Chain A
Amino acid sequence: MSHVPSTYAGVTDVVAVLVLLTEFAMLRAPFLRSQVRLYQFQSLVVTALAVFVAASRHIDELYVLAALSFALKVVLVPRLVLRLLRDADVDLAGSSVLGVTSMILIAIGVSAFGVLVVGSLRVRSAALPASALAIATAVVLVAFVLIILRADVVSQAIGFFSLENGVSVASLVLAAGLPLVVGVAFLFDLLVAVVVFGVIMRVHHGRAQTLSTSDLDRLKG
């Protein structure tokens, strides 16, 4: 059990764990604004991972991807969401269905499930750190928990965006040689999602004067 992972595996593991921890922090964050900041930090970490992989595997295309993802996920998307929040001017604190401790415990269970499932797939190879894939799966699952349990549009949008971060970690670690076009397509997927969520936020706030989705189950008549 006590073999020490290589530097490459060590760094990717640390980054994956950091991404997972920020995902948990988003789950816990009481203010919508701090959730956006956490997403910004998470994206920064993922960008750093892209640069690291590019440098250590000598894949120049990844630098382009890292620059794009920095511009998009660290600068543009958080600014857009924060601006939408400023315009909405209501409910600074998000609402959630459960208490923080129960949410964390559920997310712990879900992430353990993800890690064990990926572990049982036995994707092992000397060159690829499989642990990062397992943890990235856990990130995606915790993002689902975030989307399901937090009842406001911003958390749901941030949950969706951070899900994309988890997918990026997995693709960077396992398929670093991915053609640039595919990577950029992922990013533009995200951009479309931002537009969609922006519209949803605006429309929902325009109709309900709130960002919380818990009012949506009321009967209309």
Chain B
Amino acid sequence: MGTNVVAPQIVQALQVLTILLGAPLVSGVISHIEGRLQGRRGPRILQPYFDIAKLFRKETLVTNESSWVFLAGPIVAFGCYLIVPLLIPVLTTYGLPLGYMGDILGGAFILALAGFAVAMASAESGAPYAQLGASRAMTFGALIEPTILFVVFAVALITSTDLPYALAATVRSSSSEMVRPGHVLAAIAFFLVVLVDTGRIPVETHSGTLEFGMIDEARTLEHSGPPLALLKWGSAMKQLILYTVLINVFVAPWGLASTGNLGSVLLAIPALLGKAMVLGTIFAVIDNLFSKLRLFKVTEFIAAAFLLSFLAVLVFFAGGG
């Protein structure tokens, strides 16, 4: 304590900035590693920044059929992604002033609102593939929702609250908390949720250009220029937000700042990004090991995730966990 204690408001702003500016870096590292795993040289690590900068300089094209919703959607979604980092433990172990605005469900609702805004925008485009992507994304989003709810229930049973900070604190408190079957099942279920929500391999090839298998990717087909940049940036941020929740709430809530000390807050930023890159590497390896499921088999994958989260809750009711 003493001279270089940072005000909580500044730490909170730093949380948002970390997600905002770190997200393209994490995406870049993942696609670089992916390229390496596939025997390619892979794009530069900073490539996502260049892509976003390039798109911001381009003009915006709008189809004749679409209204203002088409352009507002990406902005609303981007705003949502800026709000969520206020609610989750990105850099600190202690709750920040605005951290108690909403619980995990609140964060999930805001993420869902972002998904809704993007879906509305792509439905407005009048293009068949964008609409197909929007409809698929909403369908699978609705199917994965029960799993998210049961993961939250499991968290609530562990901590008697559903604040993400509380679970992170519980996990940090002892190593036996980490290996409780209820916690492990909920963590694996949430891992599968992240796979579905970030559009990774068993569900979707995120780098493919084949429209038939597209879900999330297809939604942005009609956008161009700055709105497309916002969508790309937003999906990178969504990915980092989900990684952060998985890492800092469920799996490895270490390396976070426990005081407002400037040094430890600044150290928490590379710690988070490093952990996110390790997690991203795991996702890249999964991408390489498995093949994409047929679209109608995705429900089986989601059923498996639901099974795990349900068992997590069930184990608690059985008296164990």
A and B associate: yes
Interface residues of chain A, those whose CB is within 8 Å of chain B, are 1-2, 4-5, 7, 9-10, 13-14, 16-17, 20-21, 24, 28, 100-101, 104-105, 108, 111-112, 115-116, 118-119, 124, 129-132, 134-135, 138
Q: Do B318 and A135 touch (CB < 8 A)?
A: yes
B295-315: which residues lie under 8 A (CB-CB) from chain A? 299-300, 303-304, 306-307, 310-311, 314-315
Interface of A is mostly: helix
- Looking at the assembled complex, report how far the CB atom of B160 sits from the nearest CB atom of chain A, in whole angstroms: 6
Q: Which residues from B are CB-within-8-Å of A4? A: 174, 176-177, 180
* Contact (Cβ within 8 A) B157 A1: yes
What is the size category of the interface that chain B forms with chain A? Answer: 20 to 34
Residues from chain A with a CB closer than 8 A to the CB of B180 are: 4-5, 10
Q: Pick the contact of B307 from A2, A24, A119, A130 — CB < 8 Å?
A: A24
Is B317 on the interface with A (CB-CB < 8 A)? yes
A131 touches B318 (CB 8 A): yes
- Minimum distance in angstroms from B39 CB to a CB of chain A: 30
A and B contact pairs by CB, cutoff 8 A, 30 listed:
A1-B157, A1-B160, A2-B158, A2-B170, A4-B180, A5-B180, A5-B321, A10-B176, A10-B179, A10-B180, A10-B181, A13-B315, A14-B181, A14-B184, A21-B311, A24-B307, A100-B300, A100-B303, A101-B299, A104-B307, A108-B310, A112-B314, A119-B317, A119-B318, A129-B320, A130-B320, A131-B320, A131-B321, A135-B320, A138-B314
Alpha-carbon separation in the docked complex, A101 to B303 (Å) = 6
Q: How far apart are the CA atoms of A132 and B318 in the complex, in Å?
A: 8
Bound: A148/B185 CA distance, A: 27
Quote the shortest CB–CB distance from A169 to chain B (angstroms).
Answer: 13
- Considering only CB atoms, which chain A residue lies closest to B159 in the complex? A2
A9 to B160, CA, bound (A): 21
B307 & A135 in contact (Cβ 8 Å cutoff): no
Of the candidates B159, B160, B304, B315, which one forms a contact with A135 in the assembled complex, judged by CB atoms under 8 Å apart? B315
Q: Are B300 and A118 in contact (CB under 8 A)?
A: no
What separation, in Å, do the CA atoms of A147 and B174 have in the docked complex? 42
Please measure, in the bound complex, the distance between the C-alpha atom of A16 and the C-alpha atom of B321, giving whole angstroms: 11
Residue of B nearest to A6 (CB): B176
Indicate if the CB atoms of B320 and A1 lie closer than 8 Å.
no
Q: A24's closest neighbor in chain B, by CB?
A: B307
Which residues in A have their C-beta under 8 angstroms from that of B177? 4
Instruction: Select B304's contact among A13, A14, A17, A104, beta carbons within 8 Å.
Output: A104
Residues of B within 8 A of A5 (CB): 180, 320-321
Cβ of B319 within 8 Å of any chain A Cβ, yes or no, is yes
Given contacts A17-B311, A20-B311, contact A105 B303 (CB under 8 A): yes
Contact assessment for B317 and A115 in the assembled complex, using a CB-CB cutoff below 8 Å: yes
Contact B320 A132 (CB under 8 A): yes
A203 CA / B315 CA spacing, docked (Å): 42
Chain A residues, CB < 8 A from B170: 2
Please give, as numbers and ranges, the residues of chain B lying within 8 Å of A129 by CB-CB distance: 319-320
Q: List residues of B (161-192) whose CB comes within 8 Å of A's CBs.
A: 170, 174, 176-177, 179-181, 184-185
A130 near B321 with CB under 8 A, answer no
How many Å from the CB of B179 to the closest CB on chain A?
7
B residues in contact with A1, CB < 8 Å: 157-158, 160, 316
Identify which of B157, B158, B304 gathers the most chain A CB atoms within 10 Å of its CB: B304
Residue of B nearest to A123 (CB): B319
How many Å lie between the Cα of A17 and that of B67 in the bound state? 52
Q: Note all chain A residues with C-beta closer than 8 A to B300.
A: 28, 100-101, 104
Closest Cβ neighbor of B170 among chain A residues: A2
